[in-house]
Structure 1
Amino acid sequence: MRAHLAITLAFLPVLVLSGCGQAPGGSVSYEAVNDAAPGENRERYDGHPVSPVHQVAAEPVSTFAVDVDTGAYANVRRMLLGGRTVPAEAVRTEEMINYFRYDYPLPDDPFVPFSVTTDLATTPWNPGTRLLRIGLRGYDVARSQRPPANLVFMVDVSGSMQDADKLPLVKQALSMLADALRPDDSISIVTYAGFVETLVEGSHDPAEIKAALDGLAASGSTAGGPALERAYDTARAHFIPGGINRIVMATDGDFNVGLSDRESLEEMVRRNREDGVTLTTLGFGQGNYNDAMMEAVADLGNGNHAYIDSAMEARKVLDEELSSTLFTIARDVKVQVEFNPALVSQYRLIGYENRGLAEQDFADDRVDAGEIGAGHQVTALYEIVPAGEAGWLAPRRYAANRAPVVPAGDGGEIATVRLRYKLPEETRSRLIEKPVASALLAEASMPRRDMAFAVAVAAFGQKLRGDRRLGDFGYADIARLAGSQNDYWRQEFVQLARLAGHDADPWLR
């Protein structure tokens, strides 16, 4: 096992879930306190309440934007391996699930950028419900076949970046990315502390790029807003029509000069994304990490957000998954599920709390949504109550408030899954529809193999979030459900589940 998986019993922490205050509009503003002395830890997260239960008779349609970010998983891993508290608000369950790859088939239609898979299983923590999994897989693009890239490395060199897990790791990570580039790729480097400086502009020489990175040092305040403006100007100056045009922001997110409030930064990103320049954010460090800002601007910038906690994670994101990180194959991807009240009475979506859309937003091409890169996968899990089973919500007392009896002839499908997406060069969305056959209800069994692992990760995220609907399903159950794994990253997950529950469950000691 690799070095950062060498977990000893003496190291195992107590996992504490912290509370938070409710902010206007249903979101939760949170400032982490963790284990540091008062005032030392200023990590910032945006939390949302766990997704509610819905009655199919009243709300048959669920709509959300896809999410391919993975930052929450790596950040939670950092906290657990460091013996720190994991705030519930730092956990985005869909990012935990989507950190891993699953056995979804490659798309078989060259004109459709991804495949759609659905399957059903009984719920390990609730015998009265079922789990519906929806899986998307984008087509793969070899590094030699992707379009040329115009990349602007926007690097935070302020004083807050001097720790070993910040600027030194940034330099290592971006050097890996430089090594993976092609001769027709154009690289610029914009740095910022108390002022903004362009160190490299439009270079095709990896040696020049790595030399500039190697000379970086941390000091001063953080002029993030002016730097982002410079980065967009630089990206436009070297724009490659039909190519990849992207800013890669590497920072702890602690902006304090210029446009330092998140709303102003988001407005800047919103204005600039229409020019075809996307934004990837790479988060580093701890103590003052601004996850809320990093995730929000990446989403608005039609990019993705990752947290880099080790050289191995840097290699995974910026080398092994380079095409997924850089090359967008579908834009504004939305998922909509319509449930059949003849067969499903209640449902809840696990995760995606900050990705929900109104039903009418699904067909509105003006509404921004998530992007899918080459080789990306997206997984969503719904916990559903079959008609006739006791659900989370009690029956209504008055007849007029009860769901109408649905004719048995409507029972051929439990749901219809719809997807809307735009090809990168198009402005009008395309539609995919996939019915979910009712036979899956009768055939449902306990999750196995790939499905079991996805369910285990979902339960892990929800357990960290304090989801009461998991009942007494604990970390030991999660580790058992995940099972024995051959993949390194999956093995690491099992170790994390055991670590998180060590003090709560004797089976894990």
Structure 2
Amino acid sequence: MTDELDQLKAQFRAEKDIRPRPAAKAAGIEAALARYDKIFSKRSQGTARGLRLIERVRGLIRGSTKMHGLKLSHGLMAGASLAVITLVAVNSGLLREAPTLPSTPSLDQESSTIPEPTTLEKKDEPAKTAARQAAGENEALKDEEIEPAFSAPKVTAESDAVSGYLQKAPSSFAVTAPADERQIYYQDQGRDKFTDIQTNPVKIARDEPVSTFSIDVDTSSYSFVRGSLNQNVLPQKDAVRVEEMINYFPYDYAGPADRAVPFKANVSVFPTPWNADTRLMHIAIKGFSLNGQEKPKSNLVFLIDTSGSMDSPDKLPMLQNAMKMLVETLGPEDTVSIVTYAGSAGTVLEPTKAKDKAKIIGSLDRLMAGGSTAGAEGIRQAYQLAEQSFDETGINRVILATDGDFNVGITDPEELKSFIERKRDTGITLSVLGFGRGNYNDEMMQTLAQNGNGNAAYIDTLNEARKVLVDEVSSTLFTIAQDVKIQVEFNPDTVSEYRLIGYETRMLKREDFNNDKVDAGDIGSGHTVTAIYEITPKASKAKLNDELRYGAQNSAAVTGADEFGFVKIRYKLPGEKTSKLISQPVKVS
């Protein structure tokens, strides 16, 4: 049984030569070229002179066949290839021609103008008209004109210009978001508060030969002043604390050889740059630097202000990034807790090991600003968490981050100071990070930091956050000496007058120096502290006070004739109750 396919195969096998007949192939190609010539005869190709492109192709095919004696089939194959290439080239040329776009007709003046709105008229109500007529009003009622609600602008359409193949882009225009969709941040109120500072006066060495003060390692004044100047604003006078401006920078002072003595004091005398007749007594302290193995574990509680006043890019968002930087510096066994306060205090993160950084950072990312400020309640809850995960051999510290305004709770600085002091005695210290401007309460921040045995810093940029919480994290967190006090006794025979530059808020009474119950500043690992006195030598003509005519003249000192003074420094090692003493004379030459 055979089918049609078998029959077709049999016919092909019977044929001896199944190649296409040359005459038939030539006729087919000729018909195709003629059809193509008919279709594209109206479109000009090539140059204006000479044969059209299709005629050139025909001549090329025929001439090549005759010249080289090729078989017709070979010539036809070459001609077909050239024809295909030619068609592609022709079509590509057509595509490259610039389209002619009809220009949009301009609207005439009448058609392009929106008619002015018809003046609206308001008629008196019928009842009102009847009442007037009843009262005997004969005056005709006049229509009251109302000003149109808007003045319609004239709109003129312009034709779109075409350059090359691309239509000219429309001109840019501004888009204003609706008022209810705009991001509105808390507006600063210009309520920055600073402690009133009375500049240290010049003192007569014979009348008051002893000067006593606590060290200050805070740097918030410098960064706040810098932030003000960067905004072309002069800072408040009391915002400038000279000692913090000086101590902001690190200095290459000589440090102690071992941890037995936590710091080394360096005292020297230099000429005064602004007065050739006085001298500067320079007291420099360099703390011992702990290495990674010696650093104790940290139990940290972040007490974060999320009140409405923190809703500003330079406040809560910067605070979150700063805290993330601090988390990255912690060891895996350190502990972190987070408490917020805004209207009511709340625990955002229970004590968590720092090795779970994702959980800690996630808690920071979820913080939002809003509500009033109940700082006192937040402080109580933060100390409770610190006590919950208290480490006897580690650092237990609450880090308060805020713009400094406490609207609800303990607003009396003295009452809040007492609370912080009581918690300090239990081994939990307090540091303060300030953010933002216009609502910054530096006075309260300084009170909390000083009485919490911590430090205060102002964060105005991410670089400042990195400096305080990354580069200087050891000096910020790890205390090597507590209650550090400095007392200088000047020699009246060599020094006529003196004044302490800065430290106005850290002055102590003379008897406080030997009283270990009086609190003073702490020094962290690797910290540098600088204190400067300007002294007037006895024979200097720069003296501001004359000698007393009737005053008793004391006899010259038996010892110390070649000394400007005598420097004493008291400190306590962490955890100890009794202070230690370091002293050294200050030579004249």
Name the TM-score, length of structure 2 as normaliser.
0.67
1:272-315 deviations in Å (ceiling 9; x for gaps): 11011000000000011001111111000000000000000000
Equivalence map 1:250-265=2 (5 Å): 250-265=401-416
Q: Paired residue for 2:26?
A: none
Q: Counterpart of 1:306 in 2: which secondary structure?
A: strand
Equivalence map 1:103-502=2 (5 Å): 103-204=252-353, 205-400=356-551, 403-406=553-556, 410-439=560-589
Instruction: Give, in angstroms, the shift of residue 397 of structure 1.
Output: 4.2
1:170-199 deviations in Å (ceiling 9; x for gaps): 000000011111111010000110111111
Q: Indicate if the aligned counterparts of 2:188 and 2:439 stay in contact, CA closer than 8 A.
A: no
Structure 2: how far apart are the matches of 1:100 and 1:110?
A: 23
1:209-255 deviations in Å (ceiling 9; x for gaps): 10000011100000100000111111111100010000000000111
Structure 2: how far apart are the matches of 1:409 and 1:378?
A: 29
Q: Indicate if the aligned counterparts of 2:286 and 2:527 stay in contact, CA closer than 8 A.
A: yes
1:101-156 deviations in Å (ceiling 9; x for gaps): 11201212431000111111111111110001000010111344310000000000
Structure 2: how far apart are the matches of 1:296 and 1:151?
A: 20
Structure 1: how far apart are the matches of 2:413 and 2:479?
A: 25
Q: Structure 1 segments of 4 or more deviating over 3 A?
A: 407-410
Q: Counterpart of 2:309 in 1: which secondary structure?
A: helix
Structure 2: how far apart are the matches of 1:99 and 1:144?
A: 27
1:81-112 deviations in Å (ceiling 9; x for gaps): 01112111111111111001112012124310
Instruction: Give, in angstroms, the shift of residue 46 of structure 1.
Output: 0.5
* Paired letter, 2:357: P
* Paired letter, 1:97: I
Instruction: Give, in angstroms, the shift of residue 349 of structure 1.
Output: 0.3
Structure 2: how far apart are the matches of 1:147 and 1:183?
A: 12
Alpha-carbon distance change, 409 to 368 in structure 1, aligned in 2, over 3 angstroms: closer
Structure 2: how far apart are the matches of 1:423 and 1:221?
A: 40
Q: Indicate if the aligned counterparts of 2:487 and 2:569 stay in contact, CA closer than 8 A.
A: yes
Structure 2: how far apart are the matches of 1:220 and 1:197?
A: 13
Structure 1: how far apart are the matches of 2:491 and 2:400?
A: 44
* Paired letter, 1:189: I
Structure 2: how far apart are the matches of 1:273 and 1:41?
A: 33
1:316-364 deviations in Å (ceiling 9; x for gaps): 0000101100011000000011111121111000000011111111000
* Paired letter, 1:89: D
Q: Indicate if the aligned counterparts of 1:138 and 1:375 stay in contact, CA closer than 8 A.
A: yes
Structure 1: how far apart are the matches of 2:541 and 2:558?
A: 19
* Paired letter, 1:110: R
Structure 2: how far apart are the matches of 1:77 and 1:392?
A: 35
Structure 1 residues without counterparts, runs of 5 or longer:
1-37, 440-509
1:427-466 deviations in Å (ceiling 9; x for gaps): 0000001111122xxxxxxxxxxxxxxxxxxxxxxxxxxx
Q: Paired residue for 1:68?
A: 217
Structure 2: how far apart are the matches of 1:167 and 1:228?
A: 18
Structure 2: how far apart are the matches of 1:426 and 1:39?
A: 44
Structure 2: how far apart are the matches of 1:191 and 1:39?
A: 21
Instruction: Give, in angstroms, the shift of residue 264 of structure 1.
Output: 2.2
Structure 2: how far apart are the matches of 1:424 and 1:397?
A: 47
* Paired letter, 1:117: N
Instruction: Give, in angstroms, the shift of residue 392 of structure 1.
Output: 4.0
Q: Indicate if the aligned counterparts of 2:188 and 2:437 stay in contact, CA closer than 8 A.
A: no
Structure 2: how far apart are the matches of 1:300 and 1:45?
A: 17
Q: Indicate if the aligned counterparts of 1:342 and 1:408 stay in contact, CA closer than 8 A.
A: no
Q: Which among 45, 58, 64 is matched to residue 207 of structure 2?
A: 58
Structure 1: how far apart are the matches of 2:575 and 2:442?
A: 31
* Paired letter, 2:299: N
Alpha-carbon distance change, 408 to 241 in structure 1, aligned in 2, over 3 angstroms: closer
Instruction: Give, in angstroms, the shift of residue 405 of structure 1.
Output: 5.0
Q: Counterpart of 2:194 in 1: which secondary structure?
A: strand
Q: Paired residue for 1:471?
A: none
Q: Indicate if the aligned counterparts of 1:346 and 1:391 stay in contact, CA closer than 8 A.
A: no
Structure 2: how far apart are the matches of 1:131 and 1:156?
A: 42
Q: Indicate if the aligned counterparts of 2:572 and 2:578 stay in contact, CA closer than 8 A.
A: yes
Structure 2: how far apart are the matches of 1:427 and 1:409?
A: 33
Q: Indicate if the aligned counterparts of 1:150 and 1:240 stay in contact, CA closer than 8 A.
A: yes
Structure 2 residues without counterparts, runs of 5 or longer:
1-186
Structure index of larger Rg: 2
Q: Indicate if the aligned counterparts of 1:282 and 1:308 stay in contact, CA closer than 8 A.
A: yes
Structure 2: how far apart are the matches of 1:194 and 1:322?
A: 31
Instruction: Give, in angstroms, the shift of residue 160 of structure 1.
Output: 0.2
Instruction: Give, in angstroms, the shift of residue 410 of structure 1.
Output: 3.6
Structure 1: how far apart are the matches of 2:375 and 2:548?
A: 57
Structure 1: how far apart are the matches of 2:557 and 2:310?
A: 63
Using CA pairs below 8 Å that are at least 6 residues apart, which structure has the higher relative contact order? 1
Q: Counterpart of 2:221 in 1: which secondary structure?
A: helix
Name the TM-score, length of structure 1 as normaliser.
0.77
Q: Counterpart of 1:44 in 2: which secondary structure?
A: coil
Structure 2: how far apart are the matches of 1:66 and 1:354?
A: 10
Instruction: Give, in angstroms, the shift of residue 266 of structure 1.
Output: 1.3
